Amino acid sequence: MNGTLNLGNLFNSANLRAMAAPIFIVLILAMLVLPLPPLALDMLFTFNIALSIMVLLVSLSTKKALDFAAFPTVLLLSTLMRLSLNVASTRVVLMEGHAGPDAAGKVIEAFGHFLVGGNYAVGIIVFVILVVINFIVITKGAGRIAEVSARFTLDAMPGKQMAIDADLNAGLIDENEARRRRAEIAQESDFYGSMDGASKFVRGDAIAGILILLINIIGGFVVGVMQHDLSMADAASNYTLLAIGDGLVAQIPALVISIAAGIIVSRVSTEEDIAGQMLSNVFSKTHALYITAGILGLMGMIPGMPNFAFLLLAGGMAWLAWRNSHKPAAPEPEAAAAPVAAVEAQEASWEDVAPIDTLGLEVGYRLIPLVDSAADGELVRRIKGIRKKFARDIGFLPPAVHIRDNLEINPNSYRITLKGVEIGSGEVRTGAFLAIDPGSVAAALPGVATRDPAFGLPAVWIEADMREQAQAMGYTVVDAGTVVATHLNHLVTQHAAELLGRQETQALLDHLGKSAPKLVEDLVPKLLPLSTVQKVLQNLLIEGVAIRDMRSILDTLLEHAARVQDPNELTALVRVALGRSIVQQIYGAAGELPVMALDQSLERLLLQSLQAGNENAAMEPGLADSLLARAHASAQRQEALGHPPVLLTPAVLRPLLARFLRRTVPQLKVLSHAEVPEGKQIKVTSLVGGTA
């Protein structure tokens, strides 16, 4: 009784459906290994043709892609079945082909004789044409559409999910409907992603068909002549016709499946199937039908043309147009009022709140080729390189640059934004080169005068054929993509402190925690909150100090955090610890450091203005103006001497002077005596406030 019950459970409909796929795969693998009689080949080839026709008809009747969600799997399984049939038929052709054209079954014989008239030259040409249509036209186009659809579907997922959440929060849908919509979005992304990969199977199938045809022809010719003593003509005729029949019986279903794949991925989801869409979009346009009928009628009246065919079709088009024009229009007063009501009833939702990109690059429409990743835009590669270089030089990974086109700006212009605010812009010319004058050029160049957007140097836009001449005259010549990339790199480096947000700081600590977990655990949040660490790092970046040596920075913070919590004081302590790195960043490996220093009288005035160590004390206006003018003049003298403009001050004055001079003399670096490492010789070349 138990055995009967278990057997009944085994063969119920649910279990049979679950076992269908494994059984089908096992049969496919068996065809690759076991020899099949001609009758079995006939049945399987007929089933393959029937399956391809069924798939095509189902794809034509779908209203949206998810109605045929199993298509990628069907595509894979049908391709595997065709290939296994090719292997099985190749075995029969090579073993029994000497017996005649029906050795591999009636289906292959029919395709080899009936479809190509028994002429193997015609058969080869027909086979090649089918493969070209399948491989180059249909499969390549469908694969590209699937790739683009997959990308756009994945990009649209966050917005669709936010829309579902908004409808759910507004009470327009319940939890079950929201769950169903989320599942549909996930299925849609999975479908297009699978189709992107499944299309590669069809291309591989076409290549395999060509190789199998060649193997059958060459192998059959050798087997027929060497093993079965056939004449070369008989061997060529028998095996070539069998190979062509085998190739055609596989490629025709493959072509049908490829057409179905193209229909699935290229259709636009509406409430109509493909036939309904074509009738409503193509054959319902009255004016287009009348014009087409007129053109066909004129062509039909030309002597020598097939007048009957052209005039018959012209009459049919004219009748269809007349019928459409006299069709009663559907009443739609309620439908017309519905959109207005919908607009009036629509409420604001979180979907209306668009997130702001941390870093953005907006380009005019003429610059789109520079940022088109599909066309291998050079600027996209350069931006990736900028982010890598920034991470190596500065010490953290900046946010990704969101690129978009902007039709509201000049076609040749671009805008660089930080948190939605423009921080830089410029204008470049695609196809031309920017010749930048570094200050030592031999002569002027003809072209459109401008300035380098990154550093403001005088420059000229020149044609490509003048590039070598400009370089020989001393100009620095760069293309349009390099101009934008250089400007972006300059601005990103300048605003590094603003790019280091709380999320980036946490990611930086998490990255360091992989190699020094104890160091991070002991500091954050036990001794210092994350916000304080972030502020210290931002202070360093504001003054152009790289934060690559995070281990030394955290070691210093860990050493002093128990008694110091102020970010500015901690920054000063970290700068001392990074003194060797700071000095090397400015002077390189030089042993002697030419610096500017404060005149003693000016230094005493500044110390008095601090009011016993209060760094936030205001500076007297007259003293401030005098200090700015003298610091600027001294910095210019340093640069004229070929030295970096560096002001060396007492440690207590350094934060005040660094903040005060940063905006007016941005190229001036302010160091304290404590930050100069041992072994370096200091040479005062200029006094700020003095006469030397």
Q: Is the pLDDT of residue 490 over 90?
A: yes
Residues 6+ apart with CB under 8 A from 433: 461, 462, 463, 464, 466, 467, 470, 477, 478, 479, 480
Edge to edge, the sheet with strand 592-598 lists 669-672, 646-649, 592-598, 681-688
Q: State pLDDT tens for residues 565-611.
A: 999 999 999 999 999 999 999 998 888 999 999 988 888 888 887 76
Give phi and psi for 389, each to the nearest 5: -65, -40
- DSSP letter string, 91-108: HHHHHHGGG-TTTT-HHH
Q: Is the pLDDT of residue 474 over 80?
A: yes
Q: Each residue of 418-456: b (16+ CB within 10 Å) or e? A: beeeebbebbbbeebbbbbbeeebeeebebeebebbbee
pLDDT band at 692 (very low <50, low <70, confident <90, very high): very low
Q: Is the pLDDT of residue 336 over 50?
A: no
Q: State pLDDT tens for residues 24-72.
A: 777 777 777 777 777 887 788 788 888 888 888 887 777 776 677 777 7
Among residues 535, 562, 571, the alpha carbon closest in space to that of 675 is found at: 571
Identity of the residue numbered 653: L
pLDDT band at 278 (very low <50, low <70, confident <90, very high): low
The encoded tokens of residue 299 equal 């062509």
- pTM exceeds 0.85: no
State how far the Cα of 651 lies from the Cα of 193, in Å rounded to an integer. Answer: 60
Q: Is the pLDDT of residue 330 over 60?
A: no
Mean pLDDT of the chain: 80
User: Residue 15 has what pLDDT?
Assistant: 62
Q: Each residue of 606-620: b (16+ CB within 10 Å) or e? A: bbebeeeeeeeeebe
State how far the Cα of 284 lies from the Cα of 238, in Å rounded to an integer. Answer: 52
User: Residue 61 has what pLDDT?
Assistant: 77
